[in-house]
Amino acid sequence: MLRKLFALMILFAVSAGVQAGVTGITQTGFVLETVTVDRNGTAYVYNETDLIDVDLTAFNGASGVLLVSNGGSVPAPGSRATLIEDNRVDTGIINPDRGGDKMSFDLATPLVNSEGADLVVFEIDPSNESGDTLRAFINGIALNIASDGPVLGAVSADVYSGTTGDVDSLTELETTAFTKNSDPTQALFAYIIDLSDFGIALGASISSFQMGAALSGDTIDFVYVAGLPVGVVPEPASLSLLGLSSLMLIRRRRRA
């Protein structure tokens, strides 16, 4: 019996560690509740309220840049950046121009580089297989980052465009007039950003970063951005590795 249990735990532990990046979310409607992330082979469940918030501090993009909940209204001037700073995946600031410096963010608290993923990003895209490629600019280094794949099949929202053309600054985003131009339903895609890839040492921290579209013509539609805190308790699935280690110790003691 013990031998069978030992084999099952090995199988479970191996299968649980196959995926990397964002492996799942929970939500009520389009309000994000938890994010499950594989960080260096260990799965962690983060409550959305525990993630590190961001503030949008700069923007340069196209005309259709506001994503609003279906039937909702455009936030008042001066508060439109909240569309990317809230806990919803059906609101966002979308269609930044090409380049890793088209959207700038400050973090509510310094983000400490830990093993594996450090930032999580969500966007919507009409593809059912892969989202757009984002470009991140951190520590003087720009890198293209592909999505981990879809985590939710359909997100419905309304797109609003500036009435005077492209929105070339955060000031314009916060002050210009907008009109609704479409109401798409698209898949939700997840991305992770590992600060180690940008030359940040483990244990070091950042307080700001930048992102944008990787390719000319990409219409990347960011709906959620947050930092991952350290010290979060692993989800039960990843604790199987601890159980496996304990079982191996028991077997060694019995043989001694």
Looking at residue 129, its pLDDT comes to 74
Looking at residue 64, its pLDDT comes to 87
Report d(CA 139, CA 96) in Å as an integer.
Answer: 20
What is the model's pTM? 0.83
Q: Is residue 11 part of a domain?
A: no
For the record, the structure tokens of 244 come out as 């496996």
Q: Is residue 171 part of a domain?
A: yes
Tell how far CA 157 is from the center of its chain.
18
The number of distinct structural domains making up the chain is: 1
Looking at residue 236, its pLDDT comes to 56
Q: Is residue 133 part of a domain?
A: yes
For the record, the structure tokens of 130 come out as 């892969």
Q: Is residue 245 part of a domain?
A: no
Looking at residue 126, its pLDDT comes to 87
Looking at residue 181, its pLDDT comes to 93
Q: Which of 143, 51, 59, 48 is nearest to 93 (CA)?
A: 59
Report d(CA 119, CA 100) in Å as an integer.
Answer: 15
Q: Is residue 165 part of a domain?
A: yes
The helix/strand/coil state of 238 is coil
Q: Three-state SS across 45-62?
A: EEEHHHCECEEEEEECEC
Looking at residue 218, its pLDDT comes to 65
Q: Is residue 94 part of a domain?
A: yes
Report d(CA 24, CA 20) in Å as an integer.
Answer: 11
Which ranges constitute the DSSP H helices of 86-182? 170-175
Domain span at residue 218 reads 18-237
CA angle 32, 34, 40 (to 5 degrees): 130
Kindly give the confidence (pLDDT) of every residue in the chain, 256 residues in length, as a single tens digit, with 9 standing for 90 and above. Answer: 444 433 434 333 333 333 469 999 999 999 999 999 998 788 999 999 999 999 999 999 988 899 999 999 999 999 999 999 999 999 999 999 888 789 999 999 999 999 999 999 999 998 767 889 999 999 999 999 999 999 998 999 999 999 999 999 999 999 999 999 999 999 999 999 999 999 999 999 999 999 998 886 667 999 999 999 987 766 655 444 444 444 343 343 344 4
Q: Is residue 1 part of a domain?
A: no
Q: Is residue 48 part of a domain?
A: yes
Looking at residue 235, its pLDDT comes to 65
